[in-house]
Amino acid sequence: MNKRFMALILVVVMTTGLPLTSHAENSSPSPKRDSTELQYQDMLMIVLLPHIEAAVREHYSKSLKEQLIVYPYYVDVTEVKRVNGFRGFHFILTLEAHPTVGPHITVGKDRLVFEVAPTLPGGMVKLVEFQHLETHEVPPHWQDMVK
């Protein structure tokens, strides 16, 4: 009787056009609207992305044949510290990246700590620490890219 009742409810909802609410949209951690903070973070990713990819590719080159891609929207800024006080231009940035292969297949999760300052020798960005946090199994049809 329960199954018949549920089927009847489903048919009524589908034929009358009553909306079924879903909370799936709220489960996504990605932002749904633009903001000044998001714009600044995206600009920061444009500047840091070559440094992030270099560190990630070096780590994964030992285990993968194919070159990785790090998409800027798969990098999260987890912490920013201003080293020398208010309006100082020396920062320590902690990021978490999810490198991918092929059609957005994530292969892991990594924490990168960068020092960013105009006074650094050799440039404004220096990788301070790289920590591999997780390894994700690639699908069976991508196993040929694993060393």
Q: By percentage, how much of the chain surpasses pLDDT 70?
A: 80
Residue carrying structure tokens 């320590």: 92
Q: Give the distance from CA 130 to its chain's centroid.
A: 16
Indicate the residue type of 26. Answer: N
Among the listed residues 66, 35, 31, 85, the one whose alpha carbon sits nearest the alpha carbon of residue 138: 66
The Cα–Cα gap between 10 and 27 comes to 24
Torsion from C-alpha of 97, 50, 93, 70, nearest 10 degrees: -10
Q: What is the pLDDT of residue 4?
A: 58
Predicted pLDDT of residue 123? 85
Rounded CA gap, 113 and 94, in Å?
4
5 or 137, greater pLDDT: 137
- Give me the amino acid identity at 38: L
Residue 19, helix vs strand vs coil:
coil
Average pLDDT estimate for 91-115: 95
Residue 117 near residue 138, CB atoms below 8 Å: no
Provide the 8-state DSSP code for 64. B
pLDDT digits (tens, 9 = 90+) for 5-54: 455 555 554 555 544 443 334 333 567 899 998 899 999 999 999 999 99
pTM exceeding 0.85: no
> How many Å apart are CA 108 and CA 139, to the nearest integer?
13
Dihedral sign computed on CA atoms, order 47, 54, 115, 124: negative
| C-alpha radius of gyration, the chain, whole number | 22
- Average pLDDT across the chain, whole number: 84
Answer whether residue 106 shows pLDDT above 70.
yes
Amino acid 94: pLDDT: 98
The pLDDT tens digits of the residues spanning 57-69 come to 999 999 998 889 9
Q: CB of 80 within 8 A of CB of 91?
A: yes
